[in-house]
Structure 1
């Protein structure tokens, strides 16, 4: 049996906790219980501590005095700032992705939304959110730009943006996703970049209308 190195185990536990945060198994404002996490993930305290320390450095978790460690709650103003940056970052990433005539990795995400039709029932919102995360996350990764990759890796960009789930309903964003996909298929990087930036600016504008809970 291959033995997993300490560093590899730490990375794996970190990724599992990030997934729990994205899936809201760990909710905004929830207290982090290290022993409980270790039991859930079936690991010792050491990789749990390493992953938690990393998430604290990244600003995803925060220490509240003697009360303990909590999942940081991002305000709508925080998210507005994130989506403003995300619009430019992801627009640039998509343009870079399309500089190659055929990018197999990009082609694999073009059918993610084919199975949805309006109206999308609430029972499928979680599924749609996962497709949304995959679509946008892969565009950033596929770009291959080291500055972009370092930014999303060190800042946990996607995790922050999805803390409150989907800001706009799937019925509203589905056609926007399909329009972006169509311009990718058409091989029009300028138009695709414009559409994906508009997509994120609309979400930023919607956040202006939503009071912080």
Structure 2
């Protein structure tokens, strides 16, 4: 994958195509293992093959699509091994950035995090919205930390993690546990306790990993 800060830069003509293909992949409208048919999808999206191919190239660079030896393109499959590796990397990055955030956060940052926590609490009963609210807390911590290299790597991993995030947010029990974990993380950052912030951030990601592994085991076993 290319090393980028946030979303990969895309020619303007392929923006909408990229966004729509990404949405379909993340919502499994294009499920894992699905083969992409260029002519049909280009027609469905109402675009020529040039922006379609550019969008596909970028999604391949991000690891969401794979090219077959025969030349076809498929949606990359989901796997327990990917979950193990991605969440381990994510835990290390989250720990690093959250510890850094604890050392530099000012009052405005703490107020912002509390506001995001309140939003997470209001939406805890709604799977998708709660997931988005929790994710916004992580993005805010990354921004506060100010480590540009960690943030770039985080953005890369985040693209892949988006495929699995919905698996970790399916039950009310897990959403409430995640909210409690977010509160602990923000409390440690507010207290400027870098060691606790790191430990809580890492534990939060690893707890989500266990939920994701259990969910993917059920799906692959079905």
TM superposition score normalised by structure 2: 0.73
How far residue 37 of structure 1 moved from its aligned partner, in angstroms, is 4.9
- 8 Å CA contact 2:114–2:186 kept in 1: the answer is yes
More helix by share: 2
The CA RMSD measured in Å over matched residues stands at 3.3
TM superposition score normalised by structure 1: 0.75
Other-structure match for 2:195? 190
Residue 151 (structure 2) pairs with residue 149 (structure 1): yes
Question: Is the partner of 1:108 in helix, strand or coil?
Answer: helix
Other-structure match for 2:163? 163
- 8 Å CA contact 2:123–2:129 kept in 1: the answer is no
Structure 2, unaligned stretches of length 5 or more? 1-9
Over 3 Å counting, the alpha-carbon distance change for 1:167 and 1:39 in structure 2 is: same
Question: What is the number of equivalent residue pairs in this alignment?
Answer: 204
Over 3 Å counting, the alpha-carbon distance change for 1:159 and 1:190 in structure 2 is: same
Residue 209 (structure 2) pairs with residue 204 (structure 1): yes
- 8 Å CA contact 2:123–2:130 kept in 1: the answer is no
1:62-101 correspondence to structure 2 within 5 Å: 62-66=66-70, 68-101=72-105
Flag as ranges the 4+ runs of structure 1 deviating above 6 A: none
Provide the rounded CA distance (Å) in 1 between the counterparts of 2:120 and 2:152: 33
Structure 1, unaligned stretches of length 5 or more? 1-5
